[in-house]
A and B are shown apart, each in its own frame.
Chain A
């Protein structure tokens, strides 16, 4: 019996290692393929003037259509930040001196970029994967190729540019909305005047805070669009494949946002 048990354990360990090894190989293959996609997209920047209509169309889809979602996310993030800060500042007496700076710095550096990034990963990252994935499984990508149109130039490059350009704009917008939400809570529940709120912001917030948030936004926008495109082009099968691609794009984009968040925070703030 012990021998059989040992064999079973050895076999299961081998199978687990085999499965783990496959996953590692798949990860590096995906990393290589998405790097190639990025390289080919960057090469297509020479067509940026010719493809301006495609880029503007994608900017509208990523930017304008995301505004309602950003407003809801950012306003509640700002209000929650104010409630939390007010609760913690109670121990130090009046929250009026620090509420503006503490909430605004948290919003600009972390809350607005990450929360907006995650929400948009679900919105436009997944929608890019679903759109390109559907085109792949219905032979529309093949149709583009037979018409001598490079699918990466036509589909991926405009979406990646739109992500990189529009995400910082959306994050600045989210910053303002979240700070307004924070001020609203401070004014209505903690008697913090707008003057005191903004005086605190002016006194403690530094340019590095804003730049850190914007750099994050840029990386989040680029990575979300790139992952959406990569997953879309790699879609196989029918409707089930498109569904899996949508989930995969959201999960990978969210993970990429958290990793990028840490990298930028380490580089800029440490």
Chain B
């Protein structure tokens, strides 16, 4: 289980997270929603230890990340996979080298075994035969799926997705959603999905948390989300311009 306890984060004088409390249940898909810039990705980066909280802590299986040494943190990260919003594929490497890097670094598998595993992972994400491609030759959707294959290479217990369907067409978004569901069911992976794609949220989520002004405004099932009376949450999920959330535009309108 992942527990986020009273998490605060400031960037210079700006408060991004204002005491986030959240529990991520093992084996479930939890989606984190909220407006752009509300701190969803910042929260995700705290969960993998890329950012350090100013107050509060993140507990992975009861152990606080902030109390760990670098080596201990690396051991925890081996149990995690992060799918970056833009893929974050290493552009100096081929697809095969990208996916196999973790295996080369942390296991004693032979080159043939690594190649075999990479091929299986590419089949799993629906991209067989692209081992020799460079990231620059891939479309946005392909990059995200290769990034997912890379995240799965070390057989992680937790997979975190940073806006996996943003910028994709509806069909590709549906393919990614199905993939997340299938991986969760087949491999019993605990998934955390940061998104503002409400269609995806209803399709894949076991639990939904909404971040608003740096705190968890809503935490419940998709059905509870649909039936909530909270006006702020309702405005967000229905995408209404009128309501308690007042978007500030650059020109002051």
Contacts and interface: CB of A to CB of B under 8 A. Distances in A.
Given A147-B102, A148-B106, A149-B101, A142 B84 contact: yes
A135 to B, nearest CB: 8
A145 interface: yes
Interface string A136-166: 0011101101111110000000000000000
Interface range on chain A (Cβ under 8 Å from partner):
10 to 19
Given A147-B102, A147-B105, A149-B105, A139 B86 contact: yes
Contacts of B105: 147-149
A146 B77 contact: yes
Contacts of B74: 148, 150
B201 interface: no
A138 B81 CA distance: 17
B82 A146 contact: yes
A148 B82 CA distance: 11
A227 to B, nearest CB: 21
B82 A140 contact: no
B164 to A, nearest CB: 14
Contacts of B150: 143, 147
B77 A148 contact: yes
A139 to B, nearest CB: 4
B88 A143 contact: yes
A142 B105 CA distance: 16
A142 B106 contact: no
Nearest to B162: A139
Nearest to A138: B88
Nearest to B77: A148
Nearest to A141: B88
Top 4 A-B residue pairs of the complex, sorted by shortest distance between their CB atoms: A148-B74, A139-B88, A143-B88, A148-B77
Candidate in A134, A147, A149, A150 with the most chain B CB atoms within 10 angstroms? A147
B80 interface: yes
Contacts of B241: none
Interface in B56-77: 70, 74-75, 77
A182 to B, nearest CB: 40
B157 to A, nearest CB: 14
Interface in B201-216: none
22 contacts: A138-B88, A139-B84, A140-B88, A142-B82, A142-B88, A143-B82, A143-B84, A143-B89, A145-B49, A145-B77, A146-B48, A146-B77, A146-B80, A147-B77, A147-B150, A147-B154, A148-B77, A148-B78, A148-B105, A148-B106, A149-B105, A150-B74
